[in-house]
Structure 1
């Protein structure tokens, strides 16, 4: 039987790679420049998903507020620090590489649509040997629109030469973007969830990457 999808798209942070440790360190580096107390990884996880600027704004709001001009001053510093420490604690989620190998063997193209800046996304994926495996890498600054807009998913599909697509993510923005793009949404229950998995409205939920290919094969 033919596999029902030609493309499987993925979000990056909290979906392909557990980046919370390195993102937390970058936020805390920025906060330390204001002599603010550091945040825990558990506090930062729900702030991830709309890009680094949003994460910084959330971190500032949680530690004393966002004064005028402070985001503009600290954002480049956060990006510089993160780019230099992008894969210190980050790791692909368990079972991911095996799932990608299985999809490759089935002739399925894998691709990324993330709200992370494209340059940082490519740098992070390259650290784990994943960049060259992707038929497309669309970042939050690639198009001028980001998820929950369907634009990044549409671009990812187009750059991957089209075909029936499913999208895997860990945030409400991933689910909304997939629905708007008209593709099945799969939520990873192990990602950076800011609410119970059942509350996202995703078409399907997986709790380990071992479940992904069998799920897709049955759709």
Structure 2
């Protein structure tokens, strides 16, 4: 059985957004007159693939829910106010890779813990908005509620065994496991290697342009088989 549906992450998988997140957090701290966040702490929340709420909970544990929600809105205003587009960049060969996958007839759905506005801004800015059948933001990975409610009823694959999740963090690989899909680790992204390898992904890619080979897309542009064990 070939892979019919690809659920692909955004941060650290399609786009390098680390600088955009760092700059937005620095601006957030400055806005509220607090000391900058420690670089190691910022890297840790990025590498974990956390939702914004969980990221701020880890960085500012002293805040209650209401104050943290207010900080999250401030962060989104900063990020979506231009920092996100200016400081993010697509990984090399992104458009060419998506072209090959689309030509093979594999459905692509973008599934991210990031907000949809910031993702759409980045895709629009780089002319990449036409590749995805749907965009699911604030997905809460590895929780599967959004998958069951918003993806599973409408995706091309009728069996999770024909689905591949591509992402760079443990949250993505745990998500793949939870929905019964194949997990492909984007090693070039943010996730800590030991944590990701411990989750035994079905495939690993060191560059984004290796993804068509994992999907068994041949030189003629056809997906010929289900994803196997992938690359070592």
Normalised to the residue count of structure 1, the TM-score between the two structures is 0.84
Structure 1 match to 2:74: 77
Matches for 1:1-219 after TM superposition, within 5 Å: 4-39=2-37, 43-48=41-46, 49-61=49-61, 66-68=62-64, 69-85=66-82, 86-140=84-138, 146-154=140-148, 155-163=150-158, 164-196=162-194, 197-217=196-216, 219=228
Structure 1 match to 2:221: none
User: 2:188, 2:206 within 8 Å by CA — same for their partners in 1?
Assistant: yes
Q: Indicate how the Cα distance of structure 1 residues 214 and 165 shifts in structure 2: closer, same or farther if over 3 A, else same.
A: same
After superposition, the Cα gap between the structure-2 partners of 1:87 and 1:41, relative to the gap in structure 1 and judged at 3 Å, is farther
Taking the aligned partners of 1:211 and 1:176, their CA distance within structure 2 comes to 22
Q: Give, in angstroms, the shift of residue 34 of structure 1.
A: 3.3
Report if the CA contact (8 A) 1:113-1:138 is conserved.
yes
The 2-side partners of 1:73 and 1:157 are apart by: 32
Moved more, 179-188 or 161-170: 161-170
Report the CA distance between 1:206 and its aligned residue: 0.9
CA distance in 2: counterparts of 1:19 and 1:216, whole angstroms: 25
Deviations 1:27-78 (A, max 9, x none): 11111133333347664233132222222233335xxxx2445423322111
Q: CA deviation at 1:119?
A: 3.0
**Structure 2 contact 12–168 (Cα < 8 Å) conserved:** yes
- Going from structure 1 to structure 2, the CA distance change for 1:43 and 1:91 (only over 3 Å counts) comes to farther
What are the ranges of 5 or more consecutive residues in structure 2 without an aligned counterpart? 217-226
Partners of 1:136 and 1:160 within 8 A in 2: no
Gap change, CA 1:153 and 1:130, over 3 Å in 2: farther
Give me the TM-score of the superposition, normalised by structure 2: 0.80
CA deviation vs aligned residue, 1:78-130 (integer Å, no higher than 9, x gap):
11111112211101112322211111121212111111123333233222222
> Residue 148 of structure 1: CA displacement?
0.8
Call closer, same or farther: CA 1:42–1:93 in 2, change over 3 Å: farther
For structure 1, the 5+ residue unaligned runs are none
